[in-house]
Structure 1
């Protein structure tokens, strides 16, 4: 059983008190026992009959009698037993009562001592669940170890916030600086191809340059998306129905699927998730594009969305060649393809499923790929549902 720090401290305090209380009770018992033993020893040293012993008769009259030593010892033994029994009972009740009070006091005091730690934990949990990194603990208590911890955590949050801001600015700048030259190149090549005096060699060269330029555009777009999706979703999270996203993606994938005579099947049930709509659309788009490009001529693709065990699920399956199970992990690594194919450019840049995994992890989801017996893959992404387990 997992015990909280507060409960552990309370048990420690009460345990120490009961140990000390029992120790004091034992010492007191020995002292009282010694006093009674001294009285009995004096009686044992007395003569056979103790003269002029005063007793009180039922009538109220005091009478002087001679009492034997044996009767005196028996009376003393009964007195000792009654005294010790009463002492242990009353002392036990006192120790128990004080132990309960000590446990209560320990629970209250440990709660006050640990309050700054709870504040640190709550702040860390809110940040981890997707809130603003600009949030701080700002502990204002006296200077001690807990304040040092809170100040250190605030400093870490400040550095993380700065790092994410730098990353966001870098991605924005890189997006502009990398895409602009490629756009200019595409425009210049298009203009050259449309010239009336363009020779057949120039036409072939221009078309080859456009293919290379397109591949570079896809590569840069994938790298920027991977950089954006490889961190937790801190902003722009809202409820997104994966069924609507998948329907939109499938509708716009018709041109590419028609080129290979691939049939797209849809089974789209409502699957509300919470996250970044742009990243989730890119996730589904990469799954569908991957299923089309790594398929056979005249193959099929099945796109399914549903709610399963409180999670939003999107699954894309396709026909194709047999995929060995030991090769599956490679397809989720950047620039990796099945059988380490890095040469062919007509099947993408090798970033599609890497972006899918990074986006799923950023949304606290999972992605699993399973080979189909008939050939091809089934890739399933599960995300927390906005109806049951929101990110925020």
Structure 2
């Protein structure tokens, strides 16, 4: 039964129950008929045969031999056996024919009985796209399937309220947390602009500005992480190649300061989703690749392409060796590699949310991200996203010229 649909299992159970009941009925009929027909001609039958033969002998004045009597008895026994055999054969043939028809009827009945479950499944699949406002609202008798549908509707109601509350919290936190930090930054900058500020105060103000800036980046990362864990509310066409070019342009300044060389081999990779979140995904990958790199002669490679039914973005970078046991943990919030102290940009450490945001954005768009430690050092991070429209295999666009940032 394992691996078969519940409709097929129910049909097989119906057919098995029918065949079992039919076999029992045939066995009872055979036993009853066998008992009704005398196993051998009894005393009554012998008396009737003898009287018949005696009357015939008296009319014809011809004696009846014992052999003729035995032949008549044997013929009666043979007729009894033939009757039982014919009844058994035709009963089994009829059971097989009616059993096949019962299996077909069972298949139709099972499909009709399971139709509400198909409706529940279809609603659950639509709800997976964050359309939590939908309900099953199943009509029908108060049975177990309706109880299941009502329970599912109640769960959707609670989830809808929870997601609405989360969205409101993110919107409120975006304002309530950023506003005090913005005010603090403004006050510190205004105070430092005064001409009579002592040098020690300026140093303290610079430290406070750096701390304030770090808190702003931390809050921005946390809010973006909370937003990216939800399915995108905007579905527009975007090309990973174009988004990667924009991300490389933004990272050019930081790459130039650290001496990291960025190369790109970008082929068309159309996807559907929120272009801002997807651009942030690529930006985080490129920023991490630049930041966690070698102090000298570092490099970053960015590639995009369409493969089979998915779009693929790959970011390679040089850098210190990363143990394979640490790779999975890099996608957890506030987790960094233990080798981060040897990075080219060690003085500007992030909040530890970059790859967490990458994974959340990829999963929210129905994709996945994986990382592999390179034997020579550094990482290879690959993001797979569904192609726009769910197309089958597409012909890749011709490769564009390789861009490099010295």
Tell me the TM-score normalised to structure 2 length.
0.86
1:315–1:188: structure 2 CA closer, same or farther, 3 Å change rule? same
1:46–1:389: structure 2 CA closer, same or farther, 3 Å change rule? farther
The answer (yes or no) to whether the contact 2:321–2:339 under 8 Å persists in 1 is no
1:53–1:170: structure 2 CA closer, same or farther, 3 Å change rule? farther
1:234–1:73: structure 2 CA closer, same or farther, 3 Å change rule? farther
User: Which residue in 1 is equivalent to 2:121?
Assistant: 121
Helix, strand or coil for the counterpart of 1:321?
Answer: coil
Q: RMSD of the alignment, in Å? A: 2.7
User: Which residue in 2 is equivalent to 1:78?
Assistant: 78
CA distance in 2, matches of 1:113, 1:225: 46
The answer (yes or no) to whether the contact 1:300–1:319 under 8 Å persists in 2 is yes
Give 1:178 deviation, angstroms: 1.0
CA distance in 2, matches of 1:273, 1:181: 38
The answer (yes or no) to whether the contact 1:46–1:69 under 8 Å persists in 2 is no
- The within-5 A match list for 1:194-233 is 194-231=193-230, 233=231
User: Which residue in 2 is equivalent to 1:375?
Assistant: 377
CA distance in 2, matches of 1:154, 1:42: 77
Provide, for residues 188-226 of structure 1, a one-character-per-residue CA deviation record: whole Å limited to 9, x for no partner: 222233333333333323322222122111101110111
Structure 2 unmatched runs, 5+: 57-61, 393-406
CA distance in 2, matches of 1:116, 1:33: 49
1:238–1:41: structure 2 CA closer, same or farther, 3 Å change rule? farther
Task: Decide which moves more: 177-186 or 65-74.
Answer: 65-74
User: Which residue in 1 is equivalent to 2:33?
Assistant: 32
Provide, for residues 56-85 of structure 1, a one-character-per-residue CA deviation record: whole Å limited to 9, x for no partner: xxxxxxxx9947222112312332233223
Helix, strand or coil for the counterpart of 1:374?
Answer: coil
User: Which residue in 1 is equivalent to 2:11?
Assistant: 10
User: Which residue in 1 is equivalent to 2:404?
Assistant: none
Helix, strand or coil for the counterpart of 1:349?
Answer: coil
CA distance in 1, matches of 2:310, 2:331: 22
The answer (yes or no) to whether the contact 2:232–2:365 under 8 Å persists in 1 is no
Provide, for residues 226-285 of structure 1, a one-character-per-residue CA deviation record: whole Å limited to 9, x for no partner: 111223x15213332211111111111111111112111001111222322222111111
- The within-5 A match list for 1:253-332 is 253-297=251-295, 298-332=297-331
Provide, for residues 99-148 of structure 1, a one-character-per-residue CA deviation record: whole Å limited to 9, x for no partner: 223222222222222222221111112212x1511000011212122111
Give 1:347 deviation, angstroms: 1.9
The answer (yes or no) to whether the contact 2:247–2:283 under 8 Å persists in 1 is yes
The answer (yes or no) to whether the contact 1:215–1:345 under 8 Å persists in 2 is no
Q: How many residues align?
A: 380
Task: Decide which moves more: 11-20 or 1-10.
Answer: 1-10
User: Which residue in 1 is equivalent to 2:92?
Assistant: 92
Helix, strand or coil for the counterpart of 1:239?
Answer: strand
The answer (yes or no) to whether the contact 2:239–2:269 under 8 Å persists in 1 is yes
User: Which residue in 2 is equivalent to 1:59?
Assistant: none
1:194–1:28: structure 2 CA closer, same or farther, 3 Å change rule? same
Task: Decide which moves more: 73-82 or 35-44.
Answer: 35-44
Helix, strand or coil for the counterpart of 2:241?
Answer: helix
User: Which residue in 2 is equivalent to 1:181?
Assistant: 180
Pick the aligned partner of 1:348 from 343, 347, 350.
350
1:346–1:53: structure 2 CA closer, same or farther, 3 Å change rule? farther
Task: Decide which moves more: 290-299 or 40-49.
Answer: 40-49
